[in-house]
Amino acid sequence: MGSDDLGCPVCLRSDATRRTIESAVPMKYNGSFENRTNLDSAYYIACPACGEFVVTHMDDVNLKSPPERSRWNAVHLSALLREQSIRPLPKFWLRDGMDPYGPLERTDLAPISLDELLTRWPRTVPERIDRTLCNLARLSPTGGHHILLDTRDTALTFAGTEKEARYHVTALLRYGLLDGKIYADLTPSHFALTPEGWARFEELTRGRSAAENPVFVAMWFGDKDEKTLMDGVFHKGIVPAVGRAGYLATRVDFEEHNDWIMDRVLGGIRLAPFVIADFTGHRNGVYFEAAFARGLGTPVIHTCRKEDLSKAHFDTLQLNHVLWDTPEELEMKLYHRIVGTIGRGPHPPQRDSK
Ligand SMILES: [Zn+2]
């Protein structure tokens, strides 16, 4: 192992530890004469600043190379990786550049491209202060827990410099959201969230799309002849696939035609970590719900019975649908699509829900 194989490829700290995972990720090789799938080795990085994440050997080299590094902001990337490590979510498989990889078979990683991750950087100062509070709340197992906070740890506080980190922490102290004292000599000190701090954390995290919330399922409920099939699609196809991937599934039952049903639909989509839209039967409601989710920036997985796809609307026909003949086929394919494109969820996998 040469010195190139040491340290963190994002912040370049030499005290980060790494573990090689052999044949970790599938790599597509699209040569001019062949199209095959290889496996690439990867590293599991544990960095005191950036937290824990996975990179392939190839991306590790790219991330550390000087010309490549000028393309992205290491401070931002470090903070965003750290935030994911603190949340109760799968660790990121950080992918640099184009998309040379096939669907991920591993169940414990959430693949994300470097550019996509960087779009999550909080753009305003109040947002950075809020996200700092959320990090500190998630590091506190109970109320009254004291966190040892070092303002040199700028990734934790979404800061570029120690001065900025101290500013964010001081703001939380002044708002009465945090209890503790910052020392002039930068000595690490203990802080605890105040009751107001916990209330603010709840306010910030409640009513938002989160992996812990139920996945929203938009689908046709079936006419007389198709009702049994579509019930099977939900209960034997979608629910077990979502459960096995570590999420919960919900659908709003259109049988109850109440006035407030649309509010429930829109609320459910707003909270969902992602939406599954099954286009079998081509109901307008499904197109509407999928489009609403896309507008919110929520990922949508499209599924459809094979014989129904040709009737799909031109705008969505070009999208990559999970095609199925039976609920069992849908279960298997959908599970892999969720894990491959969104990553594993925070709930324990449900294996016997069929
Ligand atoms: Zn790092």
pLDDT digits (tens, 9 = 90+) for 41-61: 788 999 999 999 998 888 888
pLDDT at 32: 37
Q: Which residue has the higher pLDDT, 79 or 264?
A: 79
Q: How far is the CA of 213 from the centre of ligand 1 (A)?
A: 30
- Do the domain assignments include residue 101? yes
Beta bridge mates, 304: 323
Residues 36 and 70 placed together within one structural domain of the fold:
yes
| Residue where a domain stops, chosen among 205, 226, 252 | 205
For 68-127, write each residue's pLDDT tens digit: 888 899 999 999 999 999 987 778 889 886 455 655 556 677 778 888 788 889 889 999
> What value does the mean pLDDT of the chain take?
85
pLDDT at 101 (0 to 100):
61
**Cα–Cα distances in angstroms (integers) from residue 286 to residues 192, 239, 252, 302, 350, in the given order:** 46, 18, 12, 10, 26
Confirm if 252 and 264 have CB atoms less than 8 A apart.
Answer: yes
Q: Rounded to whole angstroms, how far apart are CA atoms 167 and 153?
A: 13
Print the SS3 string covering the chain: CCHHHCCCCCCCCCCCEEEEEEEEEEEEEECCCCEEEEEEEEEEEEECCCEEEEEEHHHHHHHHCHHHHCCCCHHHHHHHHHHHHHCCCCEEEEECCCCCECCCCCCCEEEEEHHHHHCCCCCCHHHHHHHHHHHHHHCCCCCCCCEEECCCCCCCCCCCCHHHHHHHHHHHHHCCCEEECCCCCCCCEEEEECHHHHHHHHHHHCCCCCCCCCEEEECCCCCCCCHHHHHHHHHHHHHHHHHHCCCCEECCCCCCCCCCHHHHHHHHHHHCCCEEEECCCCCHHHHHHHHHHHHHCCCEEEEEEHHHHHHCCHHHHCCCCEEECCHHHHHHHHHHHHHHHCCCCCCCCCCCCC
- Structural domain contains residue 281: yes
- 225 vs 352, more confident: 225
pLDDT score of 34 more than 50: no
- 81 and 146, same domain (yes or no): no
Residues 237 and 309 occupy one common structural domain:
yes
149-175: average pLDDT: 94
Whether residues 201 and 138 fall in one domain: yes
Q: What's the pLDDT score for residue 236?
A: 94
- 224 and 200 both lie in a single domain: no
Domain-located, residue 350 = no
Q: 337 C-alpha vs ligand 1 centroid, how far in Å?
A: 30
Look at residue 210 and tell me if it is in a domain. Answer: no
Last residue of a domain, one of 205, 240, 265: 205
Domain for residue 354, yes or no? Answer: no
Task: Give me 319's structure tokens.
Answer: 């999208």
What's the pLDDT score for residue 50?
97
How sure is the predictor about 353, in pLDDT bands with cuts at 50, 70 and 90?
very low
pLDDT at 267: 84
Is the domain of 103 the same as that of 142? no
CA distance 290 to 279: 10
Torsion, CA 265, CA 268, CA 270, CA 273, rounded to 10: -140
Burial class (CB in 10 A: 0-12, 13-18, 19+), 205: middle
Number of domains in the chain: 3
Instruction: Write the CATH number for 255.
Output: 3.40.50.450
Domain assignment present for 260: yes
Same domain, 93 and 59: yes
Report the separation in Å between the CA atom of 78 and the middle of ligand 1, taken as the mean of its atom positions: 6
Q: Is the pLDDT of residue 257 over 60?
A: no
**Ligand 1 centroid vs 94 CA: distance in angstroms?**
12
Higher per-residue confidence, 34 vs 312: 312
Residue 142 CA to ligand 1 centre (angstroms)? 27
- pLDDT for the residue 262: 77
pLDDT of residue 183: 81
How many A from CA of 70 to the centre of ligand 1?
16
Q: Is residue 20 part of a domain?
A: yes
Q: Examine the pLDDT at 258 and tell me if it is beyond 70.
A: no
Q: Which residue among 65, 88, 118 closes a domain?
A: 118
User: Which pLDDT belongs to residue 279?
Assistant: 94
Residues spanned by the domain of 329: 215-341
Within 8 A by CB and 6+ apart from 164, the residues are 154, 157
Give the mean model confidence (pLDDT) for residues 216-239.
89
Residue 74 C-alpha to ligand 1 middle, in angstroms? 9
Mark whether 153 and 84 lie in a shared domain.
Answer: no
Q: Please check whether residues 16 and 108 belong to one and the same domain.
A: yes
Q: Is the pLDDT of residue 288 over 80?
A: yes
Span from the CA of 16 to the centroid of ligand 1 (angstroms): 7
Do 219 and 170 share a domain, yes or no?
Answer: no
Give me ligand 1 centre to Cα 292, in Å: 37
Is there a domain that residue 285 lies in? yes
Same domain, 231 and 275: yes
CA dist., res. 39 & res. 202, Å (int):
42
pLDDT value at residue 319: 78
Domain match, 237 and 313 both: yes
Taking the centre of ligand 1 as the mean of its atom positions, its distance from the CA of residue 15, in whole angstroms, is: 9
CA of residue 156 to ligand 1 center, whole Å: 12
CATH number, domain at 198?
1.10.10.10
* Distance between Cα 64 and ligand 1 center (Å): 11
User: 135 or 6, which is more confident?
Assistant: 135
Residue 229: closest CA among 100, 323, 306, 325: 325
Tell me the HSE value of 20 on the side-chain side, using a 13 A CA sphere: 9
Cα 117 to ligand 1 centre (Å):
15
